[in-house]
Chains A and B, each alone.
Chain A
Amino acid sequence: MTIFRIISALALLILLGAITFDLKLRLKEWKSVRMFLSDQMRNLILVAKEKKGLDTGTTAARIRSIVYASTLLCFLLLAVTGFVPILFVGDHLTGILLVIHVTVAPFFALSLSALGLLWAHALRFDGEEWRILHDIGKAGIGEETIRFASKMAFWLTLLLSLPLMLTVILELFPLFGTEGEEFLIRLHGYSALCLMLVAVTHLYCTRYPVQTNTQNHL
């Protein structure tokens, strides 16, 4: 538990530090970074209030948005209930947080599956990604690279969800003894940590402040 706590805290700090550093590098001034973040928050609130994102486009697009939003919401709930006791208390997930966690988890799994079905084709890798992979690091980070990173994050999220779910499924059946169960819980924790890092990266990529065009693929 202690090692996982340290690794989780370090990983999150490094990721958030890297994002902050990148924002500062890209937007030059702290003031711009603050403005960027407050704009994002404002946009999020606006979307939530006016349901802008949900009322536009085709039915499929609307379903996609709903699925994306519900996955995001479930992810946030799971991340908070799963990591807060470990990071701040250093204890297992218990009590009401555990109730929330185990109740939300299946809906997250379902949303993630729906997300996979709805977005897999749109975010598949093709010849374009092959070219980006070849040219990576040559001409700085452009919109295409960000899109590639976002795709990568999407697929990694789906991939990491497999050990995340499998460990829970195996835990729920009388298949493993105490050592096995402990291993599964550790694996679940590390899978969740990796998934969280990837998901945060994905979220950052979707809102990445490219100077030329801040519109994202959502």
Chain B
Amino acid sequence: MTAMKSSFILLALSSLCAAVVSSQTQENVGDVADGNKSIPVHLIKIYDEFDHLIKLDDKPLLPFSPKQTCRKCHEYEKIRRGWHFNAADSGVNPGRQGEPWIYVDRQAATQIPLSYRRWKGTYPPAALGFSTLKFLSTFGRHLPGGGVGESEGAQDLNDYARWQVSGNLEINCQSCHNNDPGQNPAEYGVQVLRQNFRWAAAASSGFATVQGSAGEMPDNFDLYSAVPPEKSNFLPPTTTYNKSRFDVAGKVLFSVPRKMPPAQCSFCHSSKVINPRLPDRWEAEEDVHIAAGMTCADCHRNGLDHQMIRGYEGEAAMTGKPAAASLTCKGCHLGHGEGAVPSEGRRGAPRPLHLGIPPVHFEKLACTACHSGPWPSDNTLRVKTSRAHALGIPKADKADNALPHIMTPVFMKQSDGSYAPHNVLWPAFWAYRHQNEVVPLPTDLVRPLVAEIFANDTTRTVGRWPVLRDTDILHVLQRLRQRDSTATPVYIAAGKLFQADRYGKLEMIDHEAAGPYAWPVAHDVRSKAQSLGIRGCADCHATDAPFHFGSVLIGSPYVVRLDSMARMTTYQDKSAISAWLFSLSFLFRPGLKVLIIASFLLNALVVLIYAMRGLATIIQKLAAEE
């Protein structure tokens, strides 16, 4: 009996162990590489968001869901925690300052950096009254889905009905992993702006067409029962597949290379520097790495967890991923530490010689200071980015001075103490001030008040900003005071905080919230011959070198400080005088070099002559002693 009992316990334990081992080793078929370096063919069946197989004779035809389709072979739950999707996850280290989402409302004289990540200087979208739905409807055009797009916890209860109509904005795997020439990120952007969240991936895939707009459908719109829209000229969202793309088994061929070409990343990660010296696109250069045939993913690597390597110094320590240190500029070109295996020279990265450059430069400067961004000129340049200016989206403002106004390159200190070129944005927004805390106001609240000013005088428009005078700002501030007398209404613009003083006049003060939001830029990397310092010290150490003495344009709607300038040293930890004095010393350096060389030769001669004479004396003395 005891033996039977023991056998039973043993069997139970074995089964348990087997179950545990089985559950631990169970991985999706697409996530386990067998070492074959060829590219797997993705001829697959497609599924809708309810995990139903899509057949061409379905009525109605639903858009395929990348989540349900791809998860058959890939672990979606792991992927969805990746860098592109985890912005709102409070447990994720936000890392180095990055590009925020910039909300622009010209009619409210507002441009404000928003981010779910907790980067200092940005505001969470909710602070500006943005529900998740509104955030996605505004910025989802350049989001690959996932994150707040499919998190029910992040959905505002007031938007419940709208979410039922739009569906979730699941991760659109094809945003990055579809090399089909028909893959259309612009179409994806348009669909998201129409709140066609569940349709966006299919519409951009190149084998489906989506018509209609979920944003125009009533709250009680139903996918299956097709409740007619309130207005007859509004089309409900419908999906039509290109039948020729389906084989006899109902499978569709997706082109999924291991590494996507740079153009795939560029849709969301492009920037256009408005450089008057190089007005046409053909005159500009591309990143030296791309020109050499590399792809973005060669450096910005990731595993199944989709935790992209961002590639900045200090990322390894910040994120706890030691491998990240090997994929920075230094990691590839200089190696990192003394390992058992040489770590430098990945992908043929040449080791820089930096002949004659004092090593202090490598402590005080990031690699990007000399090698990245546009060559600095007397004035900073405007830069337009995909995400800030909706580049690539049809009907986006193509004007060079379109809002938001972002300046580049501004040489500022990073958190690690090194200087690097930054993109810089000066926030402009209306807010209530409680003690020292500044709480932005939703633009819906402010727009009507600002509109009163513009309604009276529509001619006052310079560039793309509306122009606000002292009286205009005071007028809006007074109106805001009437709404809430417990807090101080303020306006942030031009790097200053404006508020009404006790006499009712406008006062302008410095405040942390009014400071620029800056994020380091790493691309485009210039070649060695195009790098700062190639022509000598004067590239940065001349008394008028842009590195210290360039003018940084502070764009703002405030008329008194309209497009005012600040010297680059304002954003560096040195005074303009000390930088100028230091630069001045370089004027005399050629002469001083000659002086030192002459002195050295003279000293060497004196020492040599008397050394010879001393040697002769020693020889004589030794001979005499003998």
The distance in angstroms between the C-alpha atoms of A175 and B289, with both chains bound, is 27
Size bin of chain A's contact surface:
35 or more
**How close is B69's CB to chain A, nearest CB, in angstroms?**
51
B471 on the interface (CB 8 Å rule)? no
B278 on the interface (CB 8 Å rule)? no
A181 engages B613 (CB within 8 Å):
no
A9 on the interface (CB 8 Å rule)? no
* Per-position binary interface string of chain A over residues 104-124, scored 1 when its CB falls under 8 Å from any chain B CB and 0 otherwise: 011101101100110010001
Closest to A168 in B: B596
B356 engages A172 (CB within 8 Å):
yes
A112 engages B599 (CB within 8 Å):
yes
B578 engages A165 (CB within 8 Å):
no
Closest to B588 in A: A103
B600 on the interface (CB 8 Å rule)? yes
* Per-position binary interface string of chain B over residues 541-578, scored 1 when its CB falls under 8 Å from any chain A CB and 0 otherwise: 00000000000000000000000000000000010001
The distance in angstroms between the C-alpha atoms of A149 and B607, with both chains bound, is 17
* Per-position binary interface string of chain B over residues 253-272, scored 1 when its CB falls under 8 Å from any chain A CB and 0 otherwise: 00000000000000000000
Closest to A161 in B: B603
The distance in angstroms between the C-alpha atoms of A165 and B352, with both chains bound, is 27
| Chain A interface mostly | helix
A174 engages B356 (CB within 8 Å):
yes
By a CB distance below 8 angstroms, the chain B residues around A95 are 574, 578, 582
A116 engages B606 (CB within 8 Å):
yes
A182 on the interface (CB 8 Å rule)? yes
Tell me the residues in window 369-396 of chain B with beta carbons closer than 8 Å to chain A beta carbons: none
B585 engages A109 (CB within 8 Å):
no
Tell me the residues in window 110-150 of chain A with beta carbons closer than 8 Å to chain B beta carbons: 110, 112-113, 116-117, 120, 124-127, 130
B617 engages A113 (CB within 8 Å):
no
A94 on the interface (CB 8 Å rule)? yes
Identify the interface centre among B582, B600, B613, B617: most chain A CB within 10 Å of its CB.
B600
* Size of the chain B interface, CB-CB below 8 angstroms: 39
5 A–B contacts, CB within 8 A, in A order: A99-B582, A106-B599, A130-B617, A169-B596, A185-B358
A187 on the interface (CB 8 Å rule)? no
B593 on the interface (CB 8 Å rule)? yes
B607 engages A165 (CB within 8 Å):
no
Q: A125-B614, A165-B599, A169-B593 are in contact. List 13 more A-B contacts (CB 8 A).
A: A96-B582, A106-B592, A109-B599, A116-B602, A120-B606, A130-B621, A155-B607, A158-B603, A161-B600, A161-B603, A171-B358, A177-B354, A185-B358
B-side residues, CB < 8 A to A, are 352-360, 362-364, 574, 578, 581-582, 585, 588-589, 592-593, 595-600, 602-604, 606-607, 609-610, 613-614, 617-618, 621
A109 engages B617 (CB within 8 Å):
no
Q: Which of B582, B604, B606 interacts with A117 by CB under 8 Å?
A: B606
A166 engages B362 (CB within 8 Å):
no
A203 on the interface (CB 8 Å rule)? no
By a CB distance below 8 angstroms, the chain A residues around B359 are 178, 181-182, 185
Closest to A183 in B: B359
Closest to B599 in A: A109
A171 engages B578 (CB within 8 Å):
no
The distance in angstroms between the C-alpha atoms of A109 and B591, with both chains bound, is 13
B596 engages A165 (CB within 8 Å):
yes
The distance in angstroms between the C-alpha atoms of A177 and B607, with both chains bound, is 30
Closest to A157 in B: B603
A162 on the interface (CB 8 Å rule)? yes
The distance in angstroms between the C-alpha atoms of A106 and B614, with both chains bound, is 29
A166 engages B578 (CB within 8 Å):
no
Tell me the residues in window 164-213 of chain A with beta carbons closer than 8 Å to chain B beta carbons: 165-166, 168-169, 171-178, 181-182, 185
The distance in angstroms between the C-alpha atoms of A105 and B595, with both chains bound, is 10
Closest to B622 in A: A130
A62 on the interface (CB 8 Å rule)? no
B600 engages A166 (CB within 8 Å):
yes
A77 on the interface (CB 8 Å rule)? no
The distance in angstroms between the C-alpha atoms of A168 and B363, with both chains bound, is 20
By a CB distance below 8 angstroms, the chain B residues around A161 are 600, 603
A102 on the interface (CB 8 Å rule)? yes
| Chain B interface mostly | helix
Q: Which of B354, B593, B603 interacts with A162 by CB under 8 Å?
A: B603
B607 engages A159 (CB within 8 Å):
yes
By a CB distance below 8 angstroms, the chain B residues around A171 are 356, 358
**How close is A88's CB to chain B, nearest CB, in angstroms?**
18
A102-B603 CB under 8 A given contacts A95-B582, A171-B358 = no
A42 on the interface (CB 8 Å rule)? no
A98 on the interface (CB 8 Å rule)? yes
A162-B607 CB under 8 A given contacts A99-B581, A171-B356 = yes
By a CB distance below 8 angstroms, the chain A residues around B604 are 162
Closest to A181 in B: B359
B597 engages A127 (CB within 8 Å):
no
A110-B599 CB under 8 A given contacts A171-B356, A181-B358, A181-B359 = yes
A106 engages B596 (CB within 8 Å):
yes
The distance in angstroms between the C-alpha atoms of A126 and B609, with both chains bound, is 14
A120-B610 CB under 8 A given contacts A103-B588, A127-B617, A130-B621 = yes
A92 on the interface (CB 8 Å rule)? yes
**How close is A104's CB to chain B, nearest CB, in angstroms?**
10
A125 engages B593 (CB within 8 Å):
no
Q: Which of A117, A165, A177 interacts with B600 by CB under 8 Å?
A: A165
By a CB distance below 8 angstroms, the chain A residues around B618 are 130
The distance in angstroms between the C-alpha atoms of A162 and B611, with both chains bound, is 14
B362 engages A113 (CB within 8 Å):
no
B603 engages A172 (CB within 8 Å):
no
**How close is A6's CB to chain B, nearest CB, in angstroms?**
19
Nearest 5 Cβ contacts at the A-B interface: A174-B356, A109-B599, A174-B355, A106-B595, A113-B602
Closest to A109 in B: B599
B610 engages A98 (CB within 8 Å):
no
Tell me the residues in window 40-56 of chain A with beta carbons closer than 8 Å to chain B beta carbons: none
The distance in angstroms between the C-alpha atoms of A94 and B358, with both chains bound, is 12
A105 engages B596 (CB within 8 Å):
yes
B610 engages A155 (CB within 8 Å):
yes
A178 engages B595 (CB within 8 Å):
no
B356 engages A173 (CB within 8 Å):
yes
Identify the interface centre among B353, B589, B603: most chain A CB within 10 Å of its CB.
B603
A165 engages B617 (CB within 8 Å):
no
By a CB distance below 8 angstroms, the chain B residues around A98 are 582
Q: Which of B355, B593, B603 interacts with A175 by CB under 8 Å?
A: B355
The distance in angstroms between the C-alpha atoms of A11 and B597, with both chains bound, is 29
**How close is B575's CB to chain A, nearest CB, in angstroms?**
9
**How close is B372's CB to chain A, nearest CB, in angstroms?**
19
A169 engages B597 (CB within 8 Å):
yes
By a CB distance below 8 angstroms, the chain A residues around B596 are 105-106, 109, 165, 168-169
A112 engages B603 (CB within 8 Å):
yes
Closest to B595 in A: A106
A181-B356 CB under 8 A given contacts A106-B599, A125-B614, A169-B596 = yes
By a CB distance below 8 angstroms, the chain A residues around B355 are 174-177
**How close is B431's CB to chain A, nearest CB, in angstroms?**
38
**How close is A180's CB to chain B, nearest CB, in angstroms?**
8
**How close is A202's CB to chain B, nearest CB, in angstroms?**
16
Q: Which of A92, A124, A177 interacts with B610 by CB under 8 Å?
A: A124
